[in-house]
Amino acid sequence: MEVNTIAAHKSNKVQYRINENITSPEIRLIGADGNVIGVMPVAEALKISENTGLDLVEISPNAKPPVCKIIDYGKFMFEVTKREKEARKKQKTIELKEIWLKMGIDEHDINFKIKNACKFLADGDKVKVSLTFRGREMTRTQMGGEVLDKFVQACSEYGTPEKSPKLEGRHMIVILAPKK
């Protein structure tokens, strides 16, 4: 079971062809020092890489001819994973937090939910505010719009609505995005 998870994890990474696994008859070779050596057959490039004691790695397989570089493969893969890890660390995932309201919400309750929404917006997350209509409340959707407008006004310091409130079935919804 453990072997399968490792294999599945490694399949997500980009696989580079190295040494004898390079299938192109001709390649553009870049030396270990970064200088372009030129276009040559794979066999000749393999001899050069063996003489330096490093690996021949296909960097850009879609180029015409494919670009290969003479480098230490282990060190190269370490650098690639390090760059990917740094890129993931810098990414900010925006979550969508949801707050539910009802027509007859009390002043204290709505203030508590406004405080939570402002905290979510300050953290950089989007907030979906849903107001649910029950039974005969469907005839008073304009009052629900007023409750949502009051909510949006109270959160205006931290976020702005993406669209005006809209009615979807028995729910009136507005999505607040954090201010930049």
CATH of the domain at 66: 3.10.20.80
Q: Looking at residue 14, what is its pLDDT?
A: 65
Q: Looking at residue 11, what is its pLDDT?
A: 42
Q: What angle do CA 52, 55, 56 make, to 5 degrees?
A: 105
Q: Does pLDDT of 41 surpass 80? A: yes
Q: Does pLDDT of 2 surpass 70? A: no
Same domain, 57 and 122: no
- When the pLDDT of each residue in the chain is averaged and rounded to a whole number, the result is 83
Distance, in Å, from the CA atom of 96 to the CA atom of 48, rounded to the nearest integer, reads: 55
The arithmetic mean of pLDDT across residues 93-109, rounded, is 86
Predicted model pTM: 0.52
What is the residue type of 132? T
Distance, in Å, from the CA atom of 27 to the CA atom of 39, rounded to the nearest integer, reads: 6
Same domain, 19 and 77: yes
Q: Looking at residue 80, what is its pLDDT?
A: 87
Total structural domains within the chain:
2
The arithmetic mean of pLDDT across residues 41-53, rounded, is 86
Q: Does pLDDT of 171 surpass 60? A: yes
* Residue where one domain finishes, among candidates 90, 120, 148: 90
The arithmetic mean of pLDDT across residues 33-48, rounded, is 85
The whole domain housing 172 covers 96-178
Helix, strand, or coil (residue 79): helix
pLDDT grade, residue 144 (50/70/90)?
A: confident
The arithmetic mean of pLDDT across residues 13-41, rounded, is 81
Contact (CB, 8 A) for 95 and 123: no
Contact (CB, 8 A) for 66 and 22: yes
